[in-house]
Chains A and B, each alone.
Chain A
Amino acid sequence: MTNELEKYSDSELFKMLSNNTKESENAFMEIYRRYSGRIYAYCKRFLGSKEDAMDVFQDTFIKFYQSSKEEREMTNLPAFLLRIARNLCLNTLRQKRQSTELEDYMSFIILDKEKENTELLELIKNALKQLPEDYREVFVLREYEGMSYNEIAEHLNISLALVKVRLFRAKEKLREILAPYISELSKL
């Protein structure tokens, strides 16, 4: 099951998307194979809800495929996908802001009661939901997408200094929330 399309660059695959059906389908599948994980991780950790993440993730790739039929030069395909995903995530957050805050608070309370049985990863995911959107987004781009500070600044169209500040606050906030658990876990 070797994939012959693996050797093609992102821009070559993007060009194939506008060709005949079979070829464009194959190219789409290869792009999907390459970036679906990253995009899904971004949606899931940024939105904090699996259902919302699934909707946004699906819309991202559908939008991407539809927009690929337009004439354009593709220089950074993952960034392009992330941009689509980000816009959709922000729309979703805008629509769901009030209700999610309450749900997240409740879920954290429930989790707090079951902390003895909860692994650190689950705690991080829930702690992540407590972060303000701006901080959370920078954190997800750094930790889940592996972007450098400069790439984050470019992607979000903000200054490098602001990236540093947001990341510092996001990580410190997480650490403060998780410090008691980490301390407990290290004793085990």
Chain B
Amino acid sequence: MDFEKTTEMIIQYLDGELSYQEEEELFNALATNEELRNIMREHLTIARTIRNDFDAYQPPTEATLNILTSLGISPAINNNSQPTTSDNSILSKTKKFAPYILLVLITSLLTYFVTSTYLKHGEPKTEVVKSIVQTPPVIIATPMESNETLTKNKSHHSIPVAKSEKSIAQENSFQFVPKNSILNEKPIAINETKSNQFSFQKELYSNRQNHQNYSYVNRISIQTPFVVRNNEEPRNIFFTIRGITGKSFPNPNISSSDKFLSNASVGLYFTQWDNVKFGIEFGNEVFGLSYLNVKDGVEFTYEQKPSIYWGAVAIDYSLPAQVFSIPGLHPFATVLAGSSQIGGPLFKGIIGLKYHPFGSNFEMYLGSEGSLLFYQNQKNYYLTRKLGLTYGLSIIF
């Protein structure tokens, strides 16, 4: 067989263009000719290598952006939208916003349920709340000697209970309470409104009938991070609006699809304790997205920088004035957990400083914010991190 003809057949065979008879002819030739087999190997190597030329199939992001800009198309256009006869109908709009409305309702109901059931104002009524109040994390004093002379002269039916220790004078003042109420050897909490300190007395008596035999009074002062508000205090509501600026990781080198009022959020908080607020927030923010898409066995990387809507529940804690004493300034930390428009969970953490001018009904704040945005494509999860600043204003009602 002609050598050139067989070489041509090798190429056509690799391209799947040979008939059955021609294939047989070729295999016979290959079986007897080493050089032809080498030629086939070389063509195979070239063909295989070209199939790995993925780079050729990836248009640069810049080119994509140029095309879209030239045609007046938003780069972050939402491909998910189904073509409809009319995108402006009330039904389609309701459908679009239904998940967010549902999210608001659920989070509101949950927040109301949690706070009204377990975190009621004033004197805690349920055992759960008592355990929170009575198991504070910071112990700031150790046992001290009791004043023996005081107890010696008092009635056998009452024993001294130390009150709060704001000063030395106060430390030495005692209140007499019926002995039976504390003989169970459990610490007794005295709830003092507008104070975050409780005093406990644990007494060790050798003889219940004779108070003179006691050896010492073990006195422990415990500081709680929370202040329980009483029934008379109004529940403050905070309407907040804040701007968010930061850098996404990944951060595709394409311009973002900023919308009006993007990179901002609004929220509604209410005070549960003096230093703790619960609330909900909704925002619109630019995130850089980068994900893989497999099409016809070829893997493509897609990059986007869309403006994404999100909603989250939040808890906010400010350091009390007793801990941080610059007037009007309060360090704070906020944690948010929610979901985004693209269907994945979103978490945020903020730390910063709040400024609340004395007697005013607003406060301003500045802080650093970190975000974690999860999203899914073709059953793979991706994560975008974002780090930046946040600044805003709260109006207190």
Q: List A residues at the B interface (Cβ < 8 Å).
A: 1-5, 8, 16, 19-20, 22-23, 25-30, 32-34, 36-41, 44-45, 54, 57-58, 61-62, 65, 120-121, 124-125, 142-144, 148-149, 164, 167-168, 171-172, 174-175, 178-179, 182, 185-186
- Evaluate contact between A16 and B83: CB separation under 8 angstroms: yes
> Once the chains are docked, how many angstroms separate the CA of A121 from the CA of B54?
10
- Evaluate contact between A167 and B79: CB separation under 8 angstroms: no
Known: A20-B87, A171-B46. A57 touches B63 (CB 8 A): yes
Known: A26-B79, A37-B300, A124-B50. A54 touches B63 (CB 8 A): yes
CB contacts (< 8 Å) of B81 on chain A: these are: 4, 22, 26
Which residue of A26, A61, A62, A142 contacts B83 across the interface (Cβ within 8 Å)? A26
Which residue of A4, A29, A30, A175 contacts B73 across the interface (Cβ within 8 Å)? A29
- Evaluate contact between A149 and B63: CB separation under 8 angstroms: no
CB contacts (< 8 Å) of B49 on chain A: these are: 120-121, 124
- Evaluate contact between B82 and A4: CB separation under 8 angstroms: yes
**In the complex, how many residues of chain B place their beta carbon closer than 8 angstroms to a beta carbon of chain A?**
51
CB contacts (< 8 Å) of A4 on chain B: these are: 79-82
Q: With an 8 A cutoff between CB atoms, is B56 at the interface?
A: yes
| B42-87 interface with A by 8 A CB criterion | 42-43, 45-47, 49-50, 52-53, 56-60, 62-64, 66-67, 70-71, 73-74, 77-84, 87
Q: With an 8 A cutoff between CB atoms, is B232 at the interface?
A: no
- Evaluate contact between A120 and B45: CB separation under 8 angstroms: yes
Q: Is the interface of B mostly helix, strand, loop or mixed?
A: mixed
Top-10 shortest CB links A-B: A37-B57, A41-B56, A40-B59, A1-B377, A4-B82, A168-B8, A25-B73, A61-B67, A41-B57, A3-B79
Q: List B residues at the A interface (Cβ < 8 Å).
A: 7-8, 11-12, 15-17, 39, 41-43, 45-47, 49-50, 52-53, 56-60, 62-64, 66-67, 70-71, 73-74, 77-84, 87, 291, 293, 295, 298, 300, 342-343, 375-377
9 additional contacts (CB under 8 A) given A3-B80, A178-B42, A182-B45: A1-B375, A37-B59, A40-B57, A65-B71, A121-B53, A143-B47, A171-B11, A172-B7, A172-B11
- Evaluate contact between B295 and A174: CB separation under 8 angstroms: no
From A8, which residue of chain B is reached at the shortest CB distance?
B83
> What's the least CB distance linking A6 to chain B, in Å?
9
From A41, which residue of chain B is reached at the shortest CB distance?
B56
> Once the chains are docked, how many angstroms separate the CA of A23 from the CA of B50?
37
- Evaluate contact between B52 and A121: CB separation under 8 angstroms: yes
- Evaluate contact between A144 and B295: CB separation under 8 angstroms: no
> Once the chains are docked, how many angstroms separate the CA of A40 from the CA of B71?
18
> Once the chains are docked, how many angstroms separate the CA of A178 from the CA of B15?
19
- Evaluate contact between A23 and B79: CB separation under 8 angstroms: no
CB contacts (< 8 Å) of A124 on chain B: these are: 46, 49-50, 53
From A121, which residue of chain B is reached at the shortest CB distance?
B49
- Evaluate contact between A44 and B56: CB separation under 8 angstroms: yes
15 example contacts (A-B, Cβ-Cβ < 8 A) are as follows A1-B375, A5-B79, A20-B87, A25-B73, A34-B295, A54-B59, A54-B63, A65-B71, A124-B53, A164-B8, A164-B12, A171-B43, A172-B7, A172-B11, A186-B45
From A39, which residue of chain B is reached at the shortest CB distance?
B59
CB contacts (< 8 Å) of A144 on chain B: these are: 50, 53, 56
From A61, which residue of chain B is reached at the shortest CB distance?
B67
Q: Which of B11, B12, B84 has the most CB of A within 10 A?
A: B11
CB contacts (< 8 Å) of B298 on chain A: these are: 37
- Evaluate contact between B83 and A58: CB separation under 8 angstroms: no
- Evaluate contact between B62 and A54: CB separation under 8 angstroms: yes
